[in-house]
Amino acid sequence: MLNTAMLPYEGGESRVHRTVARASVEERLLVANSMLARYLEGWAEADPAKIADATAEDYDFYDPLVGRYSRRTLRQYFALLRSRFAVAGVARVQDLVFTLRGPMLGPSHGARRQYWREAPRLGLTGVSEIMVTHRGVAAEAVAYDLNMACETLLGRSCSETWRLGE
């Protein structure tokens, strides 16, 4: 009976080996999807600890208007958002939530997926490219639609932006 399970098939591998390899890939996919779900929940709750818990050790978050952050410095990102939008009255955690919808349809690039990204109370909208591995979310890069909220995020007032354009 054991020998029949170990009989080779066309690829030369045993059936048992192929089943274990397939299970491993499926398990990795389940883990990656679970980590991604927790990551998205963390952004929806503006909870940097929850986001960090769903990331890989070498996680890299890049927001071109604010900078680059790791899982250890993500709290600073939220603190910076809060301080830059304080002029507009943003002070509560609920004001800093981001909704990520997707993944967007289109060609996939391996572990990279694109999501629509929005912080409705801040007025920020754009796209995020998220790279997910079985170890967690490895990276995210944000690209915002240009609007007045982006100027606030950059730390400029509308009048300063107008003067810079003159």
- Give ∠ CA 134-139-142 in degrees, rounded to 5: 140
Output the pTM of the full model: 0.73
Q: Which pLDDT does position 122 carry in this prediction?
A: 84
- Rounded distance, CA 163 to CA 102, Å? 38
Pairing of strands 67-69, 99-101: unpaired
Listed residue (107, 119, 120, 117) closest to 141, CA to CA: 117
Q: Which pLDDT does position 161 carry in this prediction?
A: 39
Mean pLDDT of 84-107: 83
Q: Which pLDDT does position 20 carry in this prediction?
A: 39
Percent pLDDT > 70 in the chain is: 70
**CATH 3.10.450.50 holds for 2-165:** yes
Looking at residue 13, the DSSP 8-state letter turns out to be: S
3-state SS class at 115? strand
- Rounded distance, CA 18 to CA 13, Å? 7
Cα Rg, the chain, nearest whole Å = 21
Domain locations in the chain? 2-165
